[in-house]
C-alpha cells in the first residue's frame, strides 16, 4: 500500500499501475492453510484496492501471484522425498489460485540442481497442469467448509494487521 500511495502522490491513477503488480510468494507444508492463504490474499487485495483506493478497473482488482515452493523444508537425508513435498506445495498453490509457479528441485538441499532434478521439477508442473486439469477450474476449493472458514479467518487477520499498520502511519 505504501508503494501505491507514493505512486499516487506522484500523479498516477491507481488503475494505471495496479494491474502490473505481481507478488512473489512461497508455498510451504500446511496444504490447506497455504491454499487458503492464496485465496485470502486475492480477497484482501481486491477489498483494499476497491474500498480504500477506489480502483475501478477489474484487472486492477486481480491479485497476481508467482509462487515458488518452499526450499527450507527440503531435506538432505532423503532427497527423493522432496519430490513429494514440492508436489504438495505446488498443488496448494495452484488450488489457491496462483498464476505462475516455480518448483524447487529435489536436490536443492544438497547442491545446485542437476539437469535430472530440474527436469523432475518441470515435469511436476506439467503433470499438475496437463493431467489433473486443476488449472481449468477457477476455484477448485471453493465451497469446502474448512477451506472457506480458513480463508475467511486469514482474511480477517490480514485486514486487522493492515488496519493496525495504517493506524500507525503506514
Element at 126 (helix H, strand E): helix 115-132
State the average pLDDT over residues 28-46.
97
Question: pLDDT digit string (tens) for 49-82?
Answer: 999 999 999 999 999 999 999 999 999 999 999 9
Predicted TM-score of the model (pTM):
0.92
Instruction: State the residue range of the domain holding 59.
Output: 2-167
Residue 114 gets which letter from DSSP? P
Number of folded domains that form the chain: 1
Question: pLDDT digit string (tens) for 48-58?
Answer: 999 999 999 99
Kindly state the cell numbers that stand for 37.
492463504
pLDDT band at 12 (very low <50, low <70, confident <90, very high): very high
Distance CA 23, CA 134 (A): 21
CATH number, domain of 132, equals 3.20.20.240
Amino acid at each position: 500500500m505504501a508503494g501505491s500511495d507514493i505512486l499516487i502522490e506522484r500523479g498516477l491513477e491507481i488503475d494505471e499501475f495496479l494491474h502490473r503488480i505481481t507478488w512473489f510468494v512461497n508455498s510451504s507444508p500446511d496444504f490447506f492453510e497455504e491454499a487458503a492463504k492464496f485465496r485470502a490474499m486475492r480477497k484482501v487485495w481486491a477489498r483494499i484496492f476497491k474500498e480504500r483506493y477506489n480502483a475501478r478497473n477489474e484487472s486492477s482488482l486481480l491479485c497476481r501471484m508467482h509462487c515458488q515452493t518452499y526450499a527450507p523444508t527440503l531435506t538432505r537425508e532423503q532427497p527423493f522425498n522432496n519430490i513429494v513435498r514440492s508436489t504438495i506445495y505446488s498443488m496448494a498453490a495452484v488450488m489457491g489460485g496462483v498464476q505462475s509457479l516455480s518448483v524447487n528441485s529435489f536436490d536443492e538441499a544438497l547442491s545446485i540442481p542437476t539437469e535430472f532434478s530440474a527436469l523432475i521439477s518441470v515435469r511436476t508442473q506439467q503433470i499438475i497442469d496437463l493431467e489433473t486439469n486443476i488449472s481449468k477450474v477457477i476455484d477448485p476449493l471453493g465451497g469446502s467448509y474448512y477451506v472457506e472458514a480458513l480463508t475467511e479467518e486469514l482474511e480477517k487477520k490480514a485486514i486487522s494487521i493492515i488496519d493496525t499498520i495504517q493506524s500507525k502511519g503506514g
